Structure 1
């Protein structure tokens, strides 16, 4: 850990000398490859207004707050020689590899390529979008629960400026002891409207993979990355073979306004029980108060720098998301006085409203504030009924990127 901190400190110090007009650090041209250095550092604070569960209970620090360095990402990128691009990314905070892969662009076309290594799998608009430009501090509950992020694999992509098809076969994460399970995924996107400040995006995806050791557990935090408690939880499903997820996505940009949403439906195939099916969605809206708009590339939105760097770019945002991990119900117990019998899986339901503001200052800094309002309900065997838990959470983030 000491080495990680020293590496991060040196990287940030070097980035501070980068001119404000350029986000990345140009290193050199070596072997025909133009090498640049990028980084992202995020520090978070969460303040919990608990209801039933102590959202910071596992930390056992006696406080209703938590502060943590969330990310410390260091990334080397190379363009060339020829039509080759490569990237090596590492998160010094989480001690894991990020995107680490090689891409070959057929005919020099960025929309037609082969890719090998670790990369984000072809699913989920929010998961594939840039982390440094997230609309909210925490991704939506359904994205964190269902989306398949970085895995080792081989992929193929083909498309144009307004459509794309991507397919991938993948295995485990590059870093040992993290996500496992071989599978495949495919995503298709279409933008019937694709102009600067006027974009309509539609997409569909499907991912299917083997569950590790035939064990599956779906659970979700209440849109607070530093919470140590999950309010909805399927529990361990020990006879699970594969998990397949269908995703539908849409986004509309009009000038300084952006609306987007995604729906997921997931089915776990089980040996000794009925298949377990769950679903969820989110819808969100963002307003760039200072008038900036979004671009569009590779089936995801892109956000540029503030029009006036000294003033910065201000955003206001709101999101509603819902997840349902119930697939079953309660049956009356034939034995008098005994609790009802759980028929299926009762992992719980959760609805969450998030409102927030972001401030991007110049080309390297971002500050965010979110307020999260949670309404969850889950069956409790001890209470013999469904129990509601409705906490509120205040979240803050400071971000430095280059």
Structure 2
């Protein structure tokens, strides 16, 4: 696998020398619907400086416990149809072996009805296109409480500077992944909306049945330390038995001022229980800033910041970013732990189809260990790199 990934990285670098391709491949027009093909490939490398726990422990099979790890992160192919009253999407990730967006949208002016599998309306960072995430790993709050893709039915409206979405959902389309029926909604407003000058606010909520695959009526909250390839979680509630429902509320904000962007989210989640055992409540948040060194700004569409192409394709767009995110999974007798991370990043968008990322993550975590009879700190650091090709 490591040899394969190194080859992919080399090919990506070599391909960067070639002329830029189109953002998507047009296939045909059928009954007024423009059919196109999109794709995304990401190859990651992680270098761990462990403190106590082995962040690359030999699980799942194939991991050797070494301080470095290389792997494909995503290998996505997406077929889309746009035009007329209906848009549709069908996507699959060959790396994860799972369905992505697989839905049809009926457009009613700015309103729409959508059915199938789609991202649920409760996370600004999760709803943003993965190819344009500002850091290699999404923040802990997103990975913990972002419901992501589920099958369901949604109704929404996207005006110029405000909109909303309400959704009823079930399990993921791919079996043996996330499940538990529920509902959610998100509303956003941009009181300032001008080219290069945007202020965004949003509220969201989801409520769903706590039902893990293979462990019905239970919930477990845990998160990787801002490293997608890590196999160890430093904070983990363990299984919360007799769980009934999980309810998450979120607030979000973003500001764009020319080449600068600041973004933040806070989510608080409660797991209610069917017995006299107390409910569990945890929370998480982040704030980050990104600076386009080459002067580009961002766009804004349907309640989400959008990343522009480089002004000068031959030299590309350079970005610097810094993020602070924190999570608290301690509540009463459940000692899931606390974690606070600082991430420094540099991104290079080259031409229309390539992106290279480098992150440094410093972690500070504390978790109660029964064997020690006290809270124990674990403060590792990680260097992460990503090569990305998309069209």
CA shift at 1:211, angstroms? Answer: 1.0
Are positions 1:55 and 2:58 aligned together?
A: no
* Partners of 1:173 and 1:62 in 2: CA distance: 31
* Partners of 2:112 and 2:32 in 1: CA distance: 19
Asked whether the 8 Å contact 2:54–2:65 carries over to 1, the reply is: no
Are positions 1:362 and 2:364 aligned together?
A: no
CA shift at 1:57, angstroms? Answer: 1.2
Q: Deviations over 1:192-242 (max 9, x none)?
A: 001110000000000000011111000011100000000000000111000
Tell me the equivalent position of 1:323. 327
Tell me the equivalent position of 1:332. none
Q: How does 1:60-99 map to 2 (within 5 A)?
A: 61-80=64-83, 82-99=84-101
Match of 1:225 among 209, 225, 228: 228
Q: Deviations over 1:40-70 (max 9, x none)?
A: 0000000000000000113451410111000
CA shift at 1:394, angstroms? Answer: 0.3
* Partners of 2:194 and 2:365 in 1: CA distance: 40
Superposition misfits of 4+ residues, deviation over 4 angstroms? none
* Partners of 1:116 and 1:62 in 2: CA distance: 42
Match of 2:374 among 373, 385, 396: 385
Match of 2:255 among 252, 256, 262: 252
Tell me the equivalent position of 2:25. 25
Q: Deviations over 1:159-215 (max 9, x none)?
A: 311001100000000011110000000000000001110000000000000011111
* Partners of 2:370 and 2:235 in 1: CA distance: 14
Q: What is the DSSP-based 3-state SS (H/G/I as helix, E as strand, rest coil) of the residue aligned with 1:57?
A: coil
* Partners of 2:23 and 2:285 in 1: CA distance: 34
* Partners of 2:158 and 2:316 in 1: CA distance: 34
* Partners of 1:241 and 1:260 in 2: CA distance: 33
* Partners of 2:37 and 2:65 in 1: CA distance: 40
Q: What is the DSSP-based 3-state SS (H/G/I as helix, E as strand, rest coil) of the residue aligned with 1:143?
A: helix
* Partners of 2:188 and 2:340 in 1: CA distance: 28
* Partners of 2:140 and 2:31 in 1: CA distance: 44
* Partners of 2:135 and 2:287 in 1: CA distance: 12
Asked whether the 8 Å contact 1:359–1:368 carries over to 2, the reply is: yes
Q: What's the TM-score once normalised by structure 2's chain length?
A: 0.93
CA shift at 1:22, angstroms? Answer: 2.3
CA shift at 1:21, angstroms? Answer: 5.9
Tell me the equivalent position of 2:188. 189
Tell me the equivalent position of 1:135. 134
Match of 2:285 among 281, 284, 289: 281
Q: What's the TM-score once normalised by structure 1's chain length?
A: 0.90
CA shift at 1:291, angstroms? Answer: 0.3
CA shift at 1:19, angstroms? Answer: 7.0
Q: What is the DSSP-based 3-state SS (H/G/I as helix, E as strand, rest coil) of the residue aligned with 2:58?
A: helix
Q: What is the DSSP-based 3-state SS (H/G/I as helix, E as strand, rest coil) of the residue aligned with 1:222?
A: coil
* Partners of 2:346 and 2:82 in 1: CA distance: 35
Q: How does 1:145-160 map to 2 (within 5 A)?
A: 145-160=144-159
* Partners of 1:42 and 1:299 in 2: CA distance: 26
Asked whether the 8 Å contact 2:282–2:331 carries over to 1, the reply is: yes
* Partners of 1:162 and 1:210 in 2: CA distance: 33
Asked whether the 8 Å contact 1:58–1:229 carries over to 2, the reply is: no
- How many residues in Structure 1 have an aligned counterpart in Structure 2? 372
Tell me the equivalent position of 2:208. 209
Structure 1, unaligned stretches of length 5 or more?
1-7, 329-343
